[in-house]
Structure 1
């Protein structure tokens, strides 16, 4: 019989499912397979240690840092919509 109330632990189950989905999305974005010997952006050689540490690596450290900085700037936290900014 439906009572309209959530089961005990329903909120935690929802949190766990959200975290699990985020982890799966992040893992799908990770490169896999053999890495490149030279950066696909600047053609600089990629050290063997980096290729062993990062499976499927395609960029050198400098190009990867630049790409991460671009992605970080574009997908930041929306501070205008935060509750804290609305109080000011």
Structure 2
């Protein structure tokens, strides 16, 4: 018979597997020509390097810093 720790571990593994599956099967959009934040053109090299890019480098850096800050890291 499974105890509480075994059931919690199984649940954790199921959640992790589901999260990974969602990321792997996530639809990827075509790269944007203009940044969705500041409306500046996104260079062709960046659009080719990162499929589905929607922000210029500067706006992406700001977005990532804000995301890290709000996560509490």
Q: TM-score range by the shorter chain?
A: 0.5 to 0.7
The one of 21, 28, 37 equivalent to 2:18 is: 21
TM-score (norm 1): 0.58
Greater RCO (CA < 8 Å, at least 6 residues apart) = 2
Instruction: Map residues 1-88 of structure 1 onto 2, 5 A cutoff.
Output: 5-6=1-2, 13-25=10-22, 27=23, 32-76=28-72
Q: Which runs of 5 or more residues in structure 2 are unaligned?
A: none
Which ranges of structure 1 fall in alignment gaps of 5 or more residues?
78-88
Query: Which has the larger share of helix?
Result: 2
Question: Which of these two proteins has the greater Rg computed from alpha carbons?
Answer: 1
